């Protein structure tokens, strides 16, 4: 029981982070109108994916990876949930599906997050 209480506290913290990031939707599969306003889009994506994890019953890393048939690495999962940056869309979509989320909701969040990521190309590459 003690562990569950701690998990509930962590879930409330994640949902509070969503509110701070400006999210208007819910994470229990009813988040059809998630429109983050302000804040860091990459942080919002991480927080949204952590909220999906919480809504899915807080499965362990091993359980999530097994449900993806180990098509992603633990490092990919960690990056999707915590950063830095945002992983490739295929990774985010796979995690979203594993957590019973809707990729149609996660895709715009991922696009916003990746649109604001700094490029690793030097300035000279742009002319």
Digitized pLDDT (tens) for each residue of the chain, 127 residues in all: 334 445 555 555 555 555 554 443 444 333 444 555 568 999 999 999 999 999 999 999 999 999 999 999 999 999 999 999 999 999 999 999 999 999 999 999 999 999 966 555 555 655 6
Write out the residue range of the structural domain in which residue 16 sits.
2-28+38-116
d(CA 16, CA 115): 24
Nearest Cα residue to 51 out of 108, 7, 111 = 7
Check: CB of residue 100 under 8 Å from CB of residue 35. Answer: no
11 is a domain residue: yes
126 is a domain residue: no
Domain count, the chain: 1
pTM as predicted: 0.68
């Amino acid at each position: 029981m003690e562990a569950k209480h701690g998990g509930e506290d962590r879930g409330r913290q994640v949902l509070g982070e969503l509110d701070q990031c400006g999210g208007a939707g819910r994470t229990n599969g009813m988040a059809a109108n998630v429109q983050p306003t302000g804040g860091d889009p990459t942080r919002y994506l991480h927080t949204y994916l952590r909220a999906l994890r919480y809504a899915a019953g807080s499965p362990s890393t091993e359980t999530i990876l097994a449900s993806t048939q180990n098509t992603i690495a633990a490092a990919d999962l960690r990056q999707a949930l915590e950063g830095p940056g945002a992983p490739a869309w295929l990774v985010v979509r796979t995690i979203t599906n594993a957590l019973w989320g809707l990729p149609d909701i996660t895709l715009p969040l991922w696009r916003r997050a990746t649109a604001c990521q700094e490029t690793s190309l030097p300035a000279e590459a742009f002319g």
